[in-house]
């Protein structure tokens, strides 16, 4: 499938009163040519990496400029990827947790310099060769600079008894005496999944809501992300849920693409990687992130109620270098590409991969999702995901 015919797709945005839905905008001729080249790369790269299915949406000033789908949501049944296909977005979910924290900061419920042990005293059990655990702050967790490990579980050998992810908070607490802070907190960047589980506990303690309920009430509902959810797929959306696949070698050394089914249990890790939705919901999220109010006072009030754009801009400021010219702010990554600054995040969990990027200066954004990951040893720079992501970033510069 190719670009969206003008006017054929709407982003629904709801508030206490229903707002008008921005319709899809027709791309300019130059955009049409660039998009055609991009989708050719998209299809060729996904096919080369045996990715079963994928989709991508280009957004400009809050409007969907173009969309493209390729492959299958369910290979065995021959179900094609469509605009309604639901993917899993992995660590892009962390941006929701960060926004929730900043909502509470802006409402005076917490300070970014609060000690995390003030909310989770159990963390004092973690070994910290650099001093007291009481020095670690919420700001450090948001910027991946607290010194915590990357994977939630340190088990990666592929043995059948190893957990996919822990399922309860008690399991994480039980492991704390056997963990160690890896570097001086606040001194540098190192990606951490558990940090965002700890932030979710802060949100739950301050609000009395489970993390999923808080996000549904304070982000998804006001922005009109009506098909976004966590955990198992609701029955009424099940027909649109994509399966996820893993590219690997079987016991005989033959490369296969294994069907992992549609749903899986992210367990306690949902606040750092549990978002499920069609790409249209992510396009609506991009409209919010790019502050695409179109002069509508109702839309501006809605966006400001979720989070003022000045606070989002604060979150995007670079705090620690990551690689090359890239840096990390508070959850969002900051990419310098020539004179342009691109903001975003990637995600991966089970067989799903995704990326979301925006250019704050132009209001352009792009989001893509893939339903196949690889367990094979291969050069990341040559992977379909990396090549498509890099080209997508160039597309919105």
* C-beta separation of 231 from 277 below 8 A: no
User: Any idea which fold 1-89+238-265+275-397 has?
Assistant: Beta-lactamase (3.40.710)
Q: In the predicted model, is pLDDT for residue 82 greater than 90?
A: yes
Residue among 68, 39, 62 nearest 395 (CA): 39
Q: Residues 296-311: pLDDT tens digits?
A: 999 999 999 999 999 9
Q: Residues 203-249: pLDDT tens digits?
A: 999 999 999 999 999 999 999 999 999 999 999 999 999 999 999 99
Q: Residues 382-392: pLDDT tens digits?
A: 699 999 999 99
Q: In the predicted model, is pLDDT for residue 16 greater than 50?
A: no
Q: In the predicted model, is pLDDT for residue 19 greater than 90?
A: no
Sheet holding 340-349, edge to edge: 79-80, 63-74, 53-60, 364-370, 352-359, 340-349, 333-337, 326-328, 320-323
pLDDT reported for residue 296: 94
Model confidence, pTM: 0.91
pLDDT reported for residue 101: 98
* C-beta separation of 42 from 386 below 8 A: no
Q: What angle do CA 308, 316, 305 make, to 5 degrees?
A: 15
Q: Residues 265-303: pLDDT tens digits?
A: 888 999 999 999 999 999 999 999 999 999 999 999 999
Sequence-distant (6+) residues with CB within 8 A of 302 are 13, 15, 19, 222, 223
Sequence-distant (6+) residues with CB within 8 A of 323 are none
- Domain ranges, ordered by start, for the chain: 1-89+238-265+275-397, 91-231
Q: In the predicted model, is pLDDT for residue 125 greater than 50?
A: yes
pLDDT reported for residue 360: 97
Q: Residues 349-359: pLDDT tens digits?
A: 999 999 999 99
State the average pLDDT over residues 78-96: 98
Burial class (CB in 10 A: 0-12, 13-18, 19+), 235: exposed
Confidence of residue 142 (pLDDT cuts 50, 70, 90): very high
Q: In the predicted model, is pLDDT for residue 139 greater than 80?
A: yes
β 245-249/372-374 pair status: parallel
Residue carrying structure tokens 């099940």: 238
Q: What angle do CA 208, 163, 54 make, to 5 degrees?
A: 85
State the average pLDDT over residues 110-124: 98
Q: In the predicted model, is pLDDT for residue 11 greater than 70?
A: no
Q: In the predicted model, is pLDDT for residue 319 greater than 80?
A: yes
Instruction: Specify the CATH architecture of the domain 91-231.
Output: 3-Layer(aba) Sandwich (3.40)
Q: In the predicted model, is pLDDT for residue 98 greater than 60?
A: yes
Confidence of residue 21 (pLDDT cuts 50, 70, 90): very low
pLDDT reported for residue 137: 98
Give the total residue count for the chain: 397
Q: In the predicted model, is pLDDT for residue 1 greater than 60?
A: no
pLDDT reported for residue 26: 57
* C-beta separation of 306 from 293 below 8 A: no
What is d(CA 115, CA 98) in angstroms, rounded to the nearest whole number?
16
Confidence of residue 3 (pLDDT cuts 50, 70, 90): very low
């Amino acid at each position: 499938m190719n670009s969206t015919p003008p006017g054929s797709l709407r982003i629904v945005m709801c508030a206490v009163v229903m707002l008008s839905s921005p319709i899809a905008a027709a791309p300019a001729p130059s955009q049409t040519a660039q998009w055609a080249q991009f989708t050719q790369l998209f299809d060729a790269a996904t096919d080369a990496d045996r990715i079963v299915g994928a989709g991508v949406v280009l957004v400009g000033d809050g409007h969907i400029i173009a969309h493209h789908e390729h492959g299958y949501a369910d290979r065995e049944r021959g179900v094609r990827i469509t605009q309604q296909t639901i993917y899993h977005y992995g660590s892009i979910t962390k941006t929701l947790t960060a926004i929730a924290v900043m909502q509470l900061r802006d409402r005076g419920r917490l300070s970014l310099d609060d000690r995390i042990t003030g909310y989770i005293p159990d963390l004092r059990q973690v070994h910290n060769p650099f001093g007291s655990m009481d020095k670690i702050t919420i700001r450090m967790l948001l910027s991946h600079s607290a010194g915590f490990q990357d994977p939630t579980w340190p088990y990666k050998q592929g043995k059948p008894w190893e957990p996919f992810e822990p399922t309860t908070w008690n399991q994480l607490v039980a492991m704390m005496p056997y963990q160690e802070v890896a570097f001086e907190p606040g001194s540098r960047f190192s990606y951490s999944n558990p940090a965002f589980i700890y932030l979710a506990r802060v949100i739950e303690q301050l609000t009395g809501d489970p993390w999923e309920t808080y996000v549904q009430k304070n982000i998804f509902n006001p922005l009109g992300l009506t098909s976004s959810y966590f955990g198992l797929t609701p029955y009424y959306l099940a027909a649109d849920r994509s399966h996820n696949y893993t590219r690997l070698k079987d016991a005989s050394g033959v490369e296969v693409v294994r069907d992992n089914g549609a749903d899986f249990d992210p367990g306690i890790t949902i606040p750092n990687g549990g978002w499920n939705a069609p790409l249209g919901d992510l396009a609506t999220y991009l409209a919010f992130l790019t502050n695409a109010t179109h002069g509508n006072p109702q839309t501006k009030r809605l966006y400001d109620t979720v989070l003022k754009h000045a606070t989002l801009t604060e979150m995007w400021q670079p705090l620690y270098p990551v690689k090359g010219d890239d840096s990390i702010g508070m959850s969002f990554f900051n990419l310098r590409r020539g004179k342009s600054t691109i903001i975003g995040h990637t995600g991966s969990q089970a067989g799903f991969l995704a990326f979301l990027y925006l250019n704050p200066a132009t209001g352009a954004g792009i989001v893509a999702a893939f339903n196949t990951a690889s367990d094979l040893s291969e050069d990341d720079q040559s992977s379909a995901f990396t090549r498509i992501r890099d080209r997508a970033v160039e597309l919105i510069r």
